[in-house]
Chain A
Amino acid sequence: MRVAYYSPLPPSRSGIADYSALLLPALRERVEVVVAEPGKRAPAADVALYHVGNDPDAHGWIVDALDERPGVVVLHEYVLHHLIAGMTIGRGNGRGYLDAMERELGVAGRLLGLGVLDNLLPLLWETQPERFPLSGLVLDRASGLIVHSHYVGERARRAGYGGRIWQIPHPAWPMHDVTPAGDVNGEPLIGCFGFLNMNKRIPELLRAFAAFRRDRPGARLLLAGAAGERFDVTRRLERLGLTEGVERLDYVPEERMWSLMAACDVLVNLRYPTMGETSGSVIRGLSLGKPLVVSDVGWFSELPDDVALKVPVDEVEVEVLQAALEVATDHGAALGAFARTYVEREHALPRVAAAYVDALETAAGGDAVDDAVLWRIAEAAAEVGIDDVQALAQAARASGIVS
Chain B
Amino acid sequence: MRVVVAAPQVPFVRGGAEVMADDLVGALRARGHEAELVTVPFKWYPEARVLDQAFLWRLVDLTESDGRPIDRVIATKFPAYCVRHPNKVAWVLHQFRQAYDYDRTDLGQYDESPFDRATRQAVARLDAVALGEARRVFATSRNVADRLQRFNGIEAELLPHPPQALDYRTAEPEGFVFSVGRLDRAKRLDLLIEAARREPSLRVVVAGAGPDEQRLRSLANGNVEFVGRVDETQLADLYARCSAVFYAPVDEDFGMVPYEAFLAEKPVLTTTDAGGPLEVVHDRQTGLVVAPDASELARGAAYLAAHVDEAKAWGRAGRALAERVTWDACVDALLG
Contacts and interface: CB of A to CB of B under 8 A. Distances in A.
Interface string A389-403: 000000010011111
B54 interface: yes
B171 interface: no
A330 interface: no
Given A47-B114, A364-B114, A358 B124 contact: yes
The A contact surface, by secondary structure, is: helix
B125 A368 contact: no
Interface stretch (A184-192, A268-276, A369-377): A369-377
A400 B82 CA distance: 9
A298 to B, nearest CB: 25
Contacts of A370: 122
A366 B119 CA distance: 7
Contact of B112 (A1, A362, A400): A1
B331 interface: no
A366 B121 contact: yes
A369 B52 CA distance: 11
Given A364-B114, A365-B115, A372-B48, A396 B122 contact: no
A358 B103 CA distance: 13
Contacts of A364: 114, 117-118
Interface string A6-31: 00000000000000000000000000
Nearest to B52: A376
A396 B121 CA distance: 16
A368 B119 CA distance: 9
Interface in B91-142: 112-122, 124-126, 129-130
B120 A400 contact: no
A361 interface: yes
Contacts of A401: 51, 54-55, 58, 122, 126
A250 interface: no
A46 interface: yes
Contact of B126 (A1, A358, A400): A400
B167 interface: no
B47 interface: yes
A402 B52 CA distance: 10
Given A361-B121, A366-B122, A372-B47, A400 B130 contact: yes
A365 B58 contact: no
Contacts of A403: 122, 125
Most chain A CB within 10 A, of B47, B55, B114, B129, is at B114
Interface in A324-379: 358, 361-362, 364-366, 368-370, 372-373, 376-377
A402 B58 contact: no
Most chain A CB within 10 A, of B51, B112, B117, is at B117
Contacts of B112: 1
Given A361-B120, A362-B121, A401-B58, A369 B115 contact: yes
A365 B52 contact: no
B55 A399 contact: yes
B34 to A, nearest CB: 28
A364 B115 CA distance: 8
Contacts, number: 72
B15 to A, nearest CB: 27
A316 to B, nearest CB: 39
Interface residues of B, number: 27
A1 B117 contact: yes
Contacts of A402: 51, 122
Contacts of A47: 114
B114 A1 contact: yes
B55 A46 contact: no
B114 A365 contact: yes
Contacts of B59: 399
A400 B129 contact: yes
B173 to A, nearest CB: 48
Given A365-B115, A373-B51, A376-B52, A400 B125 contact: yes
A363 to B, nearest CB: 8
A361 B116 CA distance: 9
A384 B114 CA distance: 32
Given A1-B112, A47-B114, A377-B52, A369 B119 contact: yes
Given A46-B114, A368-B114, A358 B121 contact: yes
A365 B126 contact: no
B241 to A, nearest CB: 49
Nearest to B59: A399
A376 B116 CA distance: 17
Contacts of B84: 399
Contacts of B114: 1, 46-47, 361, 364-365, 368
Given A362-B122, A372-B48, A377 B116 contact: no
Interface in B15-65: 47-49, 51-52, 54-55, 58-59
A13 B173 CA distance: 74
A400 B131 CA distance: 12
Contacts of B122: 362, 366, 369-370, 401-403
B55 A377 contact: yes
Contacts of B54: 401
Contacts of B113: 1, 365
27 contacts: A1-B112, A47-B114, A358-B121, A361-B120, A364-B114, A366-B118, A366-B121, A368-B114, A368-B118, A369-B48, A369-B118, A369-B119, A369-B122, A373-B51, A376-B52, A396-B55, A399-B55, A399-B58, A399-B84, A400-B82, A401-B51, A401-B54, A401-B58, A401-B122, A402-B51, A403-B122, A403-B125
> Which A-B residue pairs are the 5 nearest by beta carbons?
A365-B118, A365-B114, A400-B129, A364-B114, A361-B117
